[in-house]
C-alpha cells in the first residue's frame, strides 16, 4: 500500500526514460567519442574526451550559427513580447465588438498548424505571384516586383522572424490580456485621481502588476524561438539550403544526416540542451513559486 | 466626453485593421484553395474566391500518398493520445492525491523535460530507433511523441484532479459504493472535461509534429500529413508550383486542427502560465 504513488508514476517515468532520458545519455557519451562514418559501419568509437567540444569551440562556422541563433531568438522573442503586449492593451482600450473581432483573428492564426502556416507564408512571399510583393509594389516609388526574399540571409531571416512573430503573438496577447483584466479598476482610478497620465499609469501601475506574467511569457518565447527547425527547414525548401541560412536545429540535422558526424552533432545537441535547460530553470522556478504561494 | 468617444472609435478601427491583417494568411489559404491555377498564375491577385470551385481539393485528395499519410497520422495520433492520457492520469493522481518523498523533484523534472527541444535530441533518437529496427514505424515515432507530450499533460491534469475534493469519493464509499464504483460514478465524470482538454492537447501535438517525424520516418510510404504537405513545397523548388493544390492540401490538414484548438485554447493558456495570472 505504501508504494502506490510510486507505482502510479512508473509508466510516465519509464516512457520519459526511454524517449528522452536514454537519448540524452547517449548524446552525452557520443559527444565524447569520435563517431563518424567509419563507426556507422561498426568500427568501435574511440573515446576522445572533450576533443569534439574543443573542435567546435574553434570552429568559426559553429560560432556564426550560435550567434545567429541567439540573435534571431532574442530579437524575435522581444518583438513578439512588445507586439503581444501592445495588442493586449489595445484589447483593453476598445469596445466589446472590436475586441471580439481581434480575438477571433488571433485565435485563428494561433490555431494554424506550423506546416500549413509555412506553406501559406511561402506562397504570400512568393517572388512572382506573392501578395506581399504585389502590395509593396503598389506603393509609389517602391519596386518589389520579383524581389526574392529568400535569396539573401538578411531578408530570409526577416521573413522567418515575421512568420514566427505572427504565430507567437496570439499566445502572448491572450496571456497579457488575462493579466491585465486582473488589474483592479479602483487602483487605476486612484492613480488617475492622483494625476497620473496614461503613460505613467502604464509604467508605474499596470506593468509592475503584471510583471510575473510577462516574465513567464518572455521565457517561454525565448525557449520556443530556439526551436524553429520546422520553419527554417521549410523556408530552406523554398529558398536555399546553403549553410548561411542555418540556425542551430538545421545545423545539427545537417551534421547528422549529411556529414554523418554523430560525435560533433551530439556535442552541438548538448549545447542546445544546456541553453534550453538554463532558460527553463528560471521558468520552472517562477512556476513553482506560484505553486507554493 | 466626446473626445474620449472619438479616441475609442479610432482605437476600435485600429483593432479591426490589425485583426484583418492578422487573419489574412488564414483567409488567403482558403481563398487560394478554391481558385483555379490559371487565376493564381495571374500577376494581379484575386482577393475573393468568386467563380471558385473545389477542384483543387479533389486533386489533392487524388494524390495517392494522401491516404497513406492520413492513415499514418491517425494511427500515431491515436496511440499518442491514448497512452498520454493513461500515463498522465496515473501520474496526476500520484502528485495531487499523495504526499511522498521525491514528489517535488518529480514535478520539477516534468516541467524541465517538457522544454527539451526535439532539435537537441533527434540525432540520438534516430540512432536509438535505427538500432532496434523501429525507423519508419508507427511504434517508434509514437514512443517519442508520448515522452514529449506526457509532461505537459501531467501538468494540465494535475490541476483537474486537485480540483476534485477527495472527500466526495470517501462520502460515496460511506454510502456503500466500492472504491472503483465511487471513482467511476463520482470522480470520473468530474474529470471528463480535463481528460478532453488534455486529450485534445496531445492530439494537436502529435498531429502537427514535424521535426521528429522527419527524422524517424524517412521512407516516403511512412510519411505523416505534415511531411506529405512539405513534399509539395519541396517539389516547388524544381517545378512550377500548383499553389491552388498546395493551399487545398494545407486547408485539409489545418481545418480539424483549428476546430479542436478552439475547444482547448483557454485551458492551454492557463496551463502554461498557471498561477501567474491570478495577480
Rounded CA-CA distance A30/A252 in Å is 14
Mutate which of B39, B107, B124, B217 to test chain A, going by most A C-beta atoms within 10 A? B124
- Quote the minimal CA–CA distance from B133 to chain A in Å: 15
Answer whether A8 touches B (CB < 8 Å): yes
Report the range of poorest mean pLDDT among B8-12, B58-62, B180-184, B195-199: B180-184
Cα distances from A251 to residues A72, A107, A256, A276, in angstroms, run 15, 32, 9, 17
Q: Report residue B272's pLDDT band, with 50, 70 and 90 as the boundaries.
A: low
Share of chain B above pLDDT 70, in %: 93
Picking from B3, B215, B222, the residue whose alpha carbon sits closest to that of residue B128 is B215
B268 occurs within a structural domain: yes
Position A192 scores a pLDDT of 84
A vs B, Cβ pairs < 8 A, gives 321
Bridge partner residues of A33 (DSSP): A47
Report the range of poorest mean pLDDT among A151-165, A188-202, A265-279: A188-202
C-alpha cell at B166: 477527495
B160 occurs within a structural domain: yes
> B176's torsion region: left (phi>0), alpha (psi -120 to 50) or beta?
left
Query: Residue B147 pLDDT more than 90?
Result: yes
Query: Residue A146 pLDDT more than 70?
Result: yes
Rounded CA-CA distance A140/B7 in Å is 30
Query: Residue B260 pLDDT more than 90?
Result: no
Q: Are residues B16 and B70 in the same domain?
A: no
Choose the CATH number for A46-292 among 2.40.30.10, 1.10.3720.10, 3.20.20.70, 3.40.50.720: 1.10.3720.10
Q: Are residues B103 and B187 in the same domain?
A: yes
Answer whether A89 touches B (CB < 8 Å): no
Query: Residue A181 pLDDT more than 80?
Result: yes
B46 occurs within a structural domain: no
Q: Which of residues 249-268 of A touch B (CB under 8 A)?
A: 249, 252-253, 255-256, 262, 265-266
Position B207 scores a pLDDT of 94
Q: Which ranges in A211-261 belong to alpha helices (H)? A: 211-226, 229-238, 248-257
Domain boundaries, chain A: 46-292
Sign of CA dihedral A152, A155, A158, A162: negative
Identify the DSSP state of A33: B
Position A80 scores a pLDDT of 97
Largest CA distance in chain A: 78
Position A60 scores a pLDDT of 92
Q: Are residues B12 and B125 in the same domain?
A: no
* Cβ contact B207–A216 (<8 Å): no
Position B278 scores a pLDDT of 33
C-alpha cell at A167: 504565430
Cα distances from A267 to residues A261, B120, B123, B127, in angstroms, run 10, 10, 11, 15
| Residue B131, domain extent | 57-274
| E-state strands within chain A | none
Position A286 scores a pLDDT of 79
- Quote the minimal CA–CA distance from A234 to chain B in Å: 7
- Matching residue, cell 513545397: B233
Picking from A27, A123, A235, the residue whose alpha carbon sits closest to that of residue B31 is A123
Q: Are residues B27 and B77 in the same domain?
A: no
Query: Residue A293 pLDDT more than 60?
Result: no
Identify the DSSP state of A44: P
* Cβ contact A115–B230 (<8 Å): yes
Q: What is the dihedral of CA A106, A108, A111, A115, to 10 degrees?
A: -110
Cα distances from B253 to residues A111, A114, A133, B186, B247, in angstroms, run 12, 10, 27, 38, 10
Angle at B188 between CA B182 and CA B193, to 5 degrees: 155
DSSP labels, B185-198 = IIIHHHHHHHHHHH
Position A125 scores a pLDDT of 94
B143 occurs within a structural domain: yes
CATH code, domain with B106: 1.10.3720.10
Task: List Cβ neighbours of B110 (8 Å cut-off, separation of 6 or more).
Answer: B91, B151, B154, B155
Identify the DSSP state of A113: -
Highest averaged pLDDT of the listed ranges A194-198, B207-211, B257-261: B207-211
Residues of B in contact with A226 (CB under 8 A): 117, 119
Report the range of poorest mean pLDDT among A17-26, A220-229, A238-247, B155-164: B155-164
Answer whether A220 touches B (CB < 8 Å): yes
Q: Are residues B13 and B96 in the same domain?
A: no
Rounded CA-CA distance A150/A147 in Å is 9
Residues of B in contact with A121 (CB under 8 A): 25
Task: List Cβ neighbours of B269 (8 Å cut-off, separation of 6 or more).
Answer: A171, A174, A175, A178
C-beta separation of B220 from B58 below 8 A:
no
Bridge partner residues of A287 (DSSP): none
Report the range of poorest mean pLDDT among A107-121, B107-121, B156-170: B156-170
Rounded CA-CA distance A270/B214 in Å is 20
- Matching residue, cell 500518398: B65
Position B279 scores a pLDDT of 27
Structural domain total, chain B: 2
Q: Are residues B14 and B80 in the same domain?
A: no
Picking from B93, B123, B151, the residue whose alpha carbon sits closest to that of residue A4 is B93
Rounded CA-CA distance B204/A112 in Å is 10
Q: What is the mean pLDDT of residues A43-55?
A: 86
A161 vs A200: which has the higher pLDDT: A161
C-alpha cell at A269: 545537441
Rounded CA-CA distance B147/A13 in Å is 9
Selecting from B23, B94, B127 the residue whose C-beta is nearest the C-beta of A262 gives B127
C-beta separation of B235 from B186 below 8 A:
no
Sign of CA dihedral B73, A166, B84, B189: negative
Burial class (CB in 10 A: 0-12, 13-18, 19+), A121: buried
Answer whether A242 touches B (CB < 8 Å): no
Q: State whether residue A260 is helix, strand or coil.
A: coil
Q: Are residues B118 and B23 in the same domain?
A: no
Q: What is the mean pLDDT of residues A172-194?
A: 86
C-alpha cell at A53: 567540444
* Cβ contact A99–B113 (<8 Å): no
Mutual orientation of helices B2-33 and A96-111 as an angle, nearest 10°? 30
Residues of A in contact with B217 (CB under 8 A): none
B39 occurs within a structural domain: no
Q: How many CA atoms lie within 13 A of B197 on its CB side?
A: 22
- Segment B72-95, tens digit of pLDDT: 999 999 999 999 999 999 999 899
Q: Report residue A15's pLDDT band, with 50, 70 and 90 as the boundaries.
A: very high
User: Beta-carbon neighbour count of residue B259 at 10 Å?
Assistant: 11
C-alpha cell at B235: 517539389
Rounded CA-CA distance B268/A109 in Å is 15
- Segment B13-46, tens digit of pLDDT: 999 999 999 999 999 999 999 998 778 877 788 8
B45 occurs within a structural domain: no
Amino acid at each position: 500500500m505504501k508504494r502506490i504513488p510510486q507505482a502510479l508514476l512508473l509508466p510516465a517515468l519509464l516512457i520519459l526514460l526511454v524517449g528522452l532520458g536514454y537519448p540524452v545519455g547517449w548524446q552525452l557519451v557520443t559527444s565524447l567519442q569520435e563517431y563518424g562514418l567509419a563507426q556507422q559501419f561498426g568500427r568501435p568509437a574511440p573515446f576522445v574526451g572533450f576533443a569534439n567540444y574543443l573542435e567546435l569551440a574553434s570552429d568559426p562556422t559553429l560560432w556564426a550559427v550560435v550567434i545567429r541563433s541567439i540573435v534571431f531568438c532574442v530579437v524575435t522573442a522581444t518583438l513578439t513580447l512588445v507586439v503581444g503586449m501592445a495588442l493586449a492593451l489595445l484589447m483593453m482600450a476598445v469596445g466589446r465588438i472590436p475586441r471580439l473581432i481581434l480575438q477571433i483573428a488571433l485565435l485563428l492564426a494561433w490555431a494554424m498548424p506550423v506546416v500549413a502556416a509555412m506553406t501559406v507564408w511561402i506562397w504570400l512571399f512568393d517572388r512572382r505571384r506573392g501578395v506581399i510583393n504585389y502590395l509593396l509594389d503598389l506603393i509609389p516609388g517602391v519596386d518589389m516586383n520579383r524581389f526574392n526574399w529568400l535569396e539573401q540571409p538578411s531578408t530570409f531571416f526577416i521573413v522567418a522572424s515575421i512568420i514566427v512573430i505572427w504565430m507567437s503573438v496570439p499566445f502572448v496577447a491572450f496571456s497579457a490580456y488575462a493579466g491585465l483584466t486582473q488589474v483592479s479598476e479602483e487602483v487605476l482610478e486612484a492613480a488617475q485621481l492622483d494625476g497620473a497620465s496614461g503613460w505613467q499609469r502604464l509604467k508605474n501601475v499596470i506593468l509592475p502588476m503584471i510583471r510575473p506574467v510577462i516574465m513567464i511569457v518572455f521565457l517561454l518565447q525565448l525557449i520556443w524561438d530556439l526551436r524553429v527547425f520546422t520553419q527554417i527547414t521549410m523556408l530552406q525548401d523554398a529558398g536555399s539550403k546553403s549553410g548561411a541560412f542555418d540556425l542551430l536545429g538545421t545545423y545539427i540535422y545537417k551534421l547528422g544526416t549529411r556529414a554523418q558526424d554523430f560525435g560533433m552533432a551530439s556535442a552541438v545537441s548538448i549545447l542546445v540542451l544546456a541553453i534550453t535547460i538554463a532558460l527553463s530553470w528560471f521558468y520552472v522556478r517562477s512556476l513553482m513559486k506560484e505553486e507554493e504561494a | 466626453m466626446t473626445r474620449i468617444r472619438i479616441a475609442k472609435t479610432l482605437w476600435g478601427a485600429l483593432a479591426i485593421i490589425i485583426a484583418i491583417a492578422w487573419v489574412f494568411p488564414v483567409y488567403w489559404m482558403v481563398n487560394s484553395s478554391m481558385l483555379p491555377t490559371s487565376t493564381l498564375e495571374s500577376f494581379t491577385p484575386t482577393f475573393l474566391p468568386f467563380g471558385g470551385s473545389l477542384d483543387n481539393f479533389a486533386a489533392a485528395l487524388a494524390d495517392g500518398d494522401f491516404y497513406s499519410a492520413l492513415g499514418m497520422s491517425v494511427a500515431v495520433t491515436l496511440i499518442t493520445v491514448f497512452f498520454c492520457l493513461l500515463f498522465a492520469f496515473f501520474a496526476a493522481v500520484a502528485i495531487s492525491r499523495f504526499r511522498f518523498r521525491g514528489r517535488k523533484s518529480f514535478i520539477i523534472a516534468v516541467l524541465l523535460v517538457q522544454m527539451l527541444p526535439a532539435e537537441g535530441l533527434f540525432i540520438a533518437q534516430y540512432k536509438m530507433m535505427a538500432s532496434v529496427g523501429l525507423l519508419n514505424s508507427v511504434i517508434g515515432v509514437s514512443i517519442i511523441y508520448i515522452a514529449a507530450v506526457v509532461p505537459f499533460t501531467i501538468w494540465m491534469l494535475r490541476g483537474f484532479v486537485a480540483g476534485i475534493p477527495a472527500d466526495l469519493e470517501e462520502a460515496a464509499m460511506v454510502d456503500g459504493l466500492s472504491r472503483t464504483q465511487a471513482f467511476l460514478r463520482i470522480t470520473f465524470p468530474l474529470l471528463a472535461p480535463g481528460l478532453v482538454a488534455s486529450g485534445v492537447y496531445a492530439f494537436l501535438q502529435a498531429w502537427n509534429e514535424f521535426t521528429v517525424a522527419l527524422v524517424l520516418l524517412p521512407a516516403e510510404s511512412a510519411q505523416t500529413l505534415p511531411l506529405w504537405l512539405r513534399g509539395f513545397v519541396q517539389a516547388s523548388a524544381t517545378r512550377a508550383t500548383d499553389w491552388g493544390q498546395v493551399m487545398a492540401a494545407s486547408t485539409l490538414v489545418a481545418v480539424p486542427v483549428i476546430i479542436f484548438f478552439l475547444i482547448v485554447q483557454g485551458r492551454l493558456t492557463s496551463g502554461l502560465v498557471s498561477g501567474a495570472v491570478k495577480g
